[in-house]
Amino acid sequence: MLTYRDLAGRVGAAARTLGPDRRLVLLETRNDVHTLVHHLGALAAGHVVLPVPAGRDHSAILHTYDPDVVVTPEGVHHRRDGSRHDLHPDLAVLLSTSGSTGSPKLVRLSRRNLTANAAAIADYLDIRRTDRAATTLPMSYCYGLSVVHSHLLRGAGLILTERSVVDDEFWQLFRRHRGTTFPGVPYTFELLDRIGFDAMDLPDLRYLTQAGGRLPAERVRRYAALGADRGWQLFVMYGATEATARMAYLPPHLAATRPASIGVPIPGGSFFIDHADGWPDGTGELVYRGANVMMGYAHSPADLALGAGGDTLRTGDIARRTADGLYEVIGRRSRFVKVYGLRIDLQAVESALAERGVSAFCTDLGDGLAVAATGPTDGAALRRLTAEVAGVPADTVRAATVPELPQLPSGKPDYPAVRLLAGRPVDPPDTSDLRSIFADVLQIEPAAVTPERSFVDLGGNSLSYVTMSVRLERALGRLPADWQRLPVRDLERAGRPPRRRWGATLETSVALRAVAIVLIVGSHAGLFELWGGAHLLLGVAGYNVGRFCLTPLPRRERLRHLRTTIAWIAVPSVLWVALTLLFSDHYHASNLLLANKILGPHDSMTAGRLWFVEVLVWILVGVALLCASTAFDRWERRYPFAVAAVFLGFGVALRYDVLGLDLGRDAWFTVLAFWFFAAGWAAAKATTVWQRLAVTCVVAVGLIGYFGDPLREVMVLTGFALLIWLPAIRCPAGLTVVAGVVAEASLYTYLTHYQVYPLFDGHPAVGVVAAVAVGVTLTQAMTMLRRRLLPVRDQPLLHQRGGDDAVVADQAGGDHGAAPRRGG
């Protein structure tokens, strides 16, 4: 039991812990005292609070907004002294837009918004000091947060719990503390039906509230009747995060007779209908006006300095006002649906799927999503991918793969057909034990491969990526899109696709590595003349660095990945040079430093052969030095594509010799070939069509006349186009395995082939095969040696969740203090 006097003391202490300078505070929320105290403490001290659910991946938010303080269930983590943000004086809270599928878009809320909304809710619900509300919704959700604010405003009690309404412990706690209310989204009421809520004895229950999506009219009537019989009321409400939670409510006495209505505006708010073309007279977009309307959206830290954009909100709902003054929503102006209380933009879901190479139509299925798609994926994988991009549980999605997307005669999507197609059963999963594969490939303890971690989280890089992709392909029968970032649990759920599917999936970057090394060896051996493989490999290297080194992980982890990558390339290269010097004069002492292009000799026909390795290592050293800078690290996280594009522009400027260095053809084989690496880097960070198109155009223009050989230029351009636009290809399963093995051995093949193929003078084909075989053999031998000599790494867990807290902040003690009220 925690009194308001106790709460005020803890809030003051939390405010002092967060510091006097106004800062951006990311708060990982749970329904417990720790979260409540630090939320109110941050508001009391004038900070800006960004609530997010605990135990989730917040890398996108951290990457975009770079908060000054992070409060987790384990404690307060100050990321810097003071703040690097320009925060508007009125700004108080930032809430994520529910179901966002793109870059983190936040709703900016002021203290006025919070206070106005809490006061209006407390007014129409008639919240009393004797009320005690159970927290059935997370505080990171506008609905859950509004319950906290409105009850604290009236000095009422809060029963803080992480328990679900299906848990017996929830109801024991609710009865023990004489709970009077709890909030629910439509799914909550489904759960109440399952547990026999209508037979429960809850003598202190005074009212229920419902929001977060439309509750079916029949269920509204039934709960209204149940409440009338048991002595409690049902408040059906309408709102949005952009309105700090609430815009309308249906008076309880009308719930039985007008269950489809959203009711009347909240106190202090008003509606008007803006007529929309194509809808009957008196019908149009519902527009709300009130003091609780947000200041506006934030798409980047720069937006945190902006002021309010007005007190009017266009809801996007098509509505009408009935003769008795109630409002009814009859459609959507834009394609949004609500699932589990999350607002999902169907167009954004389709766009997100398209970004991952899946052409799809997506529509609503009442309480879920229906999706139909073409392309190399099965129904189960499509369902998981759709759930991932929409941010909803997978069991709310029904999916189907089709030869062609259904269209109306007008050419528009046939969404009713999508619903019918998605009603077909999906393929049952057949999971495999992937954790041992992760542990074996990455040489870490199996216990470190926890369900929420991905290949990147576990320390995977561009060198272990090939082996992992091949073994995953064997285990799953396919490679899910962006698999390297998917948690292990999602990969385990992937299962194997139906046997009727032809061939296997091969990552384009892996295929290009295999093809490029064969072209390099074949051209050097005189089997054919198809030059440009090394420059293509440079682009693939940049692509992999962008994916595996420049990740949302902390800066120290980034630097560790880069150091590991550099060592895996530089150490075997230096060892091979040292060994070669024992039996030949092909190389020079400068090659031991991987600096022949810098130190010379420049007249040797053989010392410059390892130019690709030298260029790659020194580029990686440069990237590592940049990442060691906190300023560069911050800018790269905030603007990943823009930073890569700047370096690509710089590389192209060197390609055109704007500095007047006049290196001529020598620039092909020096660090000035950096622009190929930068192009791959930019391709990895390109997330939209126009960004990919821009990188493609820059590469195409830069290649014109670069080699003076149109065939070579077209070949390199084709490779880059595949890398940019086609993340994976399907090919015979046997070829996938061979390509993976050859790609994995590309470094050792490159290092040794100069000494191998000459042994088969007059038989270039045999020399090429022998060179690749030696590279593969050395790769396998080094892998085995590394496993024997290097200790298995034990990876720390990223998140640890504590137990559930169940406490009441109530009116006992009589001191209702100013601190909670300032939280609004």
Give residue 418's pLDDT band: very low, low, confident or very high (50, 70, 90): confident
Residue 514 has pLDDT above 70, yes or no: yes
The residues, any chain, with a CB within 8 Å of residue 562's CB and separated by 6 or more, are 545, 549, 620, 623, 624, 627
* pLDDT recorded at residue 678: 94
- The number of beta carbons lying within 10 Å of the beta carbon of residue 233 is 20
> Quick check: 227 pLDDT over 90?
yes
Separation CA 44–CA 22 (nearest Å): 11
- pLDDT score of 428: 35
* pLDDT value at 823 more than 60: no
Phi, psi (deg, nearest 5) at residue 704: -60, 115
**pLDDT of 153 strictly over 90:** yes
Percent of the chain exceeding pLDDT 90 equals 45
d(CA 778, CA 784): 10
> What's the mean pLDDT in 352-357?
80
Contacts of residue 88, defined as CB under 8 A and 6 or more positions apart, other chains included, come to: 108, 295, 304, 305, 306, 307
The per-residue pLDDT for range 740-785, each reduced to its tens digit, is 889 888 999 999 999 999 999 889 999 999 999 999 999 888 877 7
Q: How confident is the model at residue 114 (pLDDT cuts 50, 70, 90)?
A: very high
Lowest mean pLDDT among 311-325, 497-511, 713-727: 497-511
Closest CA to 202 of 171, 159, 225: 171
Domains assigned to the chain: 111-296+312-332 (3.40.50.12780), 336-422 (3.30.300.30), 435-504 (1.10.1200.10), 507-745 (no CATH)
The tens digit of pLDDT for each residue in 239-272 reads: 999 999 999 999 999 999 999 899 999 999 999 9
Sign of the CA dihedral with 29 first, then 33, 36, and 41 last: negative
pLDDT of the residue at 662: 64
| Torsion angle of C-alpha atoms 589, 595, 600, 602, degrees rounded to 10 | 120
Average pLDDT (441-463) is 72
Indicate the pLDDT class of residue 278, thresholds 50, 70 and 90. Answer: low
Copy the structure tokens of residue 292: 């609780």
Residue 471's SS3 state is helix
Tens of pLDDT, residues 313-340: 999 888 899 999 999 987 666 566 767 6
Q: How confident is the model at residue 139 (pLDDT cuts 50, 70, 90)?
A: very high
| 142 confidence band (pLDDT: 50, 70, 90) | very high
pLDDT of residue 810 exceeding 60, the answer is no
For the sheet with 270-275, list strands across it. 270-275, 283-289, 312-321, 327-332
Q: Look at residue 658 and tell me whether its pLDDT is greater than 50.
A: yes
Q: Does residue 320 contact residue 330 with C-beta atoms inside 8 Å?
A: yes
- Of residues 8 and 798, more confidently modeled: 8
Split at pLDDT 50, 70, 90, the class of 808 is: very low
Does pLDDT of 165 surpass 80?
yes
Q: Residue 639 to residues 550, 632, 721: CA-CA distances in angstroms? A: 12, 10, 23
CA 508, CA 462: separation in Å to the nearest integer?
13
Weakest-pLDDT range from 159-173, 226-240, 457-471: 457-471
Would you give the distance in Å from CA 81 to the centre of its chain? 28
- Residues 6 or more apart whose Cβ sits within 8 Å of residue 23: 47, 48, 67, 68, 69, 82, 83, 85, 87
In this predicted structure, what is the pLDDT of residue 813?
Answer: 34
Mean pLDDT of the chain: 83
**Residue 638, token pair as written in the block:** 């905030």
Q: pLDDT exceeding 70 applies to what percent of the chain?
A: 84
Distance (Å) of CA 266 to CA 92, 114, 119, 211: 22, 14, 10, 14
The stretch 461-481 carries a mean pLDDT of 67
As a whole number of Å, the end-to-end CA separation of the chain is 22
Considering the entire predicted model, what is its pTM? 0.49
Half-sphere CA count of 437, side-chain side, radius 13 A: 21
pLDDT at 87 over 50: yes
Q: Are 824 and 118 in contact (CB under 8 A)?
A: yes
What is the structure's pLDDT at 807?
Answer: 46
Which pLDDT does position 226 carry in this prediction?
95
With 80 as the cut, is the pLDDT of residue 503 above it? no
* Residues 782, 3 contacting (CB under 8 angstroms): no
pLDDT band at 606 (very low <50, low <70, confident <90, very high): confident
**DSSP element (H, E) containing 271:** strand 270-275
| pLDDT at 683 (0 to 100) | 92
pLDDT-based confidence at residue 557 (cuts at 50, 70, 90)? confident
Residue 179: pLDDT band (50, 70, 90) is very high
- Residue 786: Cβ-neighbour burial (10 angstroms; 0-12, 13-18, 19+): exposed
pLDDT digits (tens, 9 = 90+) for 370-394: 898 886 567 778 888 888 888 777 7
Instruction: Give the pLDDT confidence score for residue 184 in this predicted structure.
Output: 93
- Section 524-547 average pLDDT: 90
